[in-house]
Amino acid sequence: MSDSIPITTAGYSRLQEELKTLVRVERPKVVQDISEARDHGDLSENAEYDAAKDRQGFIEGRIKELNDKIARAQVINPAEIESEKIVFGARVTLFDVDTEAEVSYQIVGEDEADIKESKISITSPVGRALIGHEVDDEVRITVPSGVRVYEITSIEYS
């Protein structure tokens, strides 16, 4: 897998912080937990040992995954983008023609997507459909609940 992964500067920082925490805090803690569980005797019936080994496997897998993502990251600072069109990193305000509601999303990388923070992945149906459009464009987007029609009211990069 040598494909680059687009990610905002904030998302990249979060990945680095998670990796640092796993390596400096979680990995040593789980090694200590395994050592303590081993001291309790018979490993064949030691639930603490099994749980610690499972946790160690998860931590090591996540460290490997984060190292890979960081190595392939294409860091993009949305504040440096100047475009009339929607591209990665844009904060887009949409008017839902059917419900007459206004929604706002930032288009981010897969690891950063969080609908609670109004961040959608560039690979999501909505993210893919918006790329390349401009203010006042009407966009039809097929989503799981059907076809939605949005009018783009603003595009910001910050």
The domain segmentation of the chain, as residue ranges, is: 5-76, 78-156
pTM of the model: 0.82
Q: In percent, how much of the chain has pLDDT > 70?
A: 97
* Mean pLDDT (whole number) for 26-48: 85
Buried b / exposed e along 16-30 (16+ C-beta atoms within 10 A): eebbeebeeebeeeb
Q: In percent, how much of the chain has pLDDT > 90?
A: 80
Binned at pLDDT 50, 70 and 90, residue 143 comes out as: confident
Select from 1.20.120.80, 1.10.287.180, 3.80.30.20, 3.40.50.300 the CATH code of 5-76.
1.10.287.180
Local structure of residue 145 (DSSP, 8 states): T
Q: What's the chain's average pLDDT?
A: 92
Binned at pLDDT 50, 70 and 90, residue 2 comes out as: low
pLDDT at 54: 94
Q: Specify the CATH number of the domain 78-156.
A: 3.10.50.30
Helix (H) or strand (E) holding 8: strand 5-8
